[in-house]
Structure 1
């Protein structure tokens, strides 16, 4: 049985990891080689594509961190969780909800992201 909380926490840790080498290790351990990420603003395929997206977000928002909002939930190989992106200790100005599809071995195969709150100009 998949631990939805663990999958969501590892996902958030990946987006917060600043060391590119460590991000690549995390992707290799927790995402399938052909994984895909897509949201209304960006998409990436495979470990290289996802890593490039994370790097870009970190460059655009260098002082922001991702946090989980609420409790992740799911069934079978589907997980849903919400997150915030903002400065530590403050309400996140950017919020979203992601839907993950996992492979048979519990790694992330795809993420479809929805942006629930994005300030103008972000």
Structure 2
């Protein structure tokens, strides 16, 4: 059986990358947020999101599979900014990384939580599955909320 060669990918420390990732979503300064997005994601990086259950049900009834996709720095900046404005800017929540990040051959996986600032309790969260490019930047970001 032929063996497949795994491409060498510059993988940063998985936990450190997960902290950098969630810090983007908490960043109040729009210029700094733009800079962080450029540092984390490849120029043509993409985020694929698991749609809400209502969207999945509607799509299923139509016989299609829904996918939410955000591609490129400008679209990613818009996505992150909207999430910041909805969840963080009002002063009620903050995003944080759980201490479970792992890396394997150019892929990083970790969980995150949205936490209430009132009591520190998680009110939401999800799983990130990041596929990195040769420079260690995010090429594809799979986000599973729930």
Using structure 1 for the length normalisation, give the TM-score.
0.87
- Higher strand fraction: Structure 1 or Structure 2? 1
* Structure-to-structure mapping, 1:1-122, within 5 angstroms: 2=11, 3-41=13-51, 42-61=68-87, 62-63=90-91, 64-88=93-117, 89-116=119-146
Distance 2:98 2:39 in 1: 24
Unaligned ranges ≥5, structure 2: 1-9, 52-67
Give the alignment's Cα RMSD to 1 decimal: 1.4
The size of the alignment, in residue pairs, is 116
- The structure whose Rg is larger is 2
Q: Which has the higher contact order (CA 8 A, sep 6+)?
A: 2
Q: Could you give the per-residue CA deviations for residues 95-121 of structure 1, whole angstroms, max 9, x where no partner exists?
A: 1001000011111111101112xxxxx
Using structure 2 for the length normalisation, give the TM-score.
0.73
Counterpart for residue 56 of structure 2: none
Unaligned ranges ≥5, structure 1: 117-122
